Amino acid sequence: MATKVREIMTGSPTSVSPELDIVTVARAMRDEDIGAVLVSDGDDLMGLVTDRDLVIRGLAAGGDPAQVKIGGIASRPTATIGPDDSLDKAAQIMRERAVRRLPVLEDGRAVGIVTLGDLAMEKDEVSALADISAARPNA
């Protein structure tokens, strides 16, 4: 059984420039079949954007989606975790901060993302969340 974040995280997370428009980022998320991207300026993590953020903060806010910059709708990372931190610490941070995704930083650089679903599949594999998280996308 895994005990460290690095054992369950998604490595090599997709990172985008804050200057990209939301349409470009949405297409990248579609093409890569992912629900979240990190927003970075070089190695500096500026935030995280989910598919829900694209809809709520991007499209529903109005304006031309080809002109709205992803940096303007990104959630600032309220918390991060290290790859050698424990899964219990990740769960505690998620609970305290009410977040479902944690960027994983090593030496100040993003090396992964760990999600609530990742934790569920590892810690409680018979839970409904683990079943949903393990299922193939219905695309």
Of 88, 110, 87, whose CA–CA distance to 4 is shortest?
A: 87
Total domains present in the chain: 1
pLDDT band at 63 (very low <50, low <70, confident <90, very high): confident
pLDDT tens profile 66-120: 999 999 999 987 799 999 999 999 999 999 999 999 999 999 999 999 999 999 8
Helices (H), the chain: 22-32, 51-53, 87-97, 116-123, 128-134
Does residue 43 lie in a domain region? yes
- Is-contact 83 4, C-beta < 8 A? yes
Residue 125: pLDDT over 70: no
Does residue 83 lie in a domain region? yes
Residue 5: pLDDT over 80: yes
> Is 2 or 71 the better-scoring residue by pLDDT?
71
> How much is the pLDDT for 139?
54
Residue 36: pLDDT over 90: yes
Residue 136: pLDDT over 70: no
Does residue 80 lie in a domain region? yes
pTM as predicted: 0.86
Backbone angles phi, psi at 63, to 5 degrees: 85, 175
Retrieve residue 3's tokens. 């005990």
Does residue 139 lie in a domain region? no
Judged by phi (left if over 0) then psi (alpha if -120 to 50, else beta), residue 21 lies in: beta
Residue 138: pLDDT over 80: no
Does residue 53 lie in a domain region? yes
User: Which residues form the domain of 64?
Assistant: 5-134
Residue 8: pLDDT over 70: yes
Cβ neighbourhood burial of 68 (10 Å; 0-12, 13-18, 19+): buried
pLDDT band at 122 (very low <50, low <70, confident <90, very high): confident
Residue 58: pLDDT over 70: yes
Helices (H), 5-63: 22-32, 51-53
Q: State which H helix or E strand residue 57 sits in.
A: none
Whole-angstrom distance, CA of residue 123 vs CA of residue 139: 26
In CATH, what number is assigned to the domain containing residue 71?
A: 3.10.580.10
What letter would DSSP give residue 19?
A: T
Backbone angles phi, psi at 23, to 5 degrees: -65, -45
> How much is the pLDDT for 78?
76
Q: Length of the chain, please? A: 139
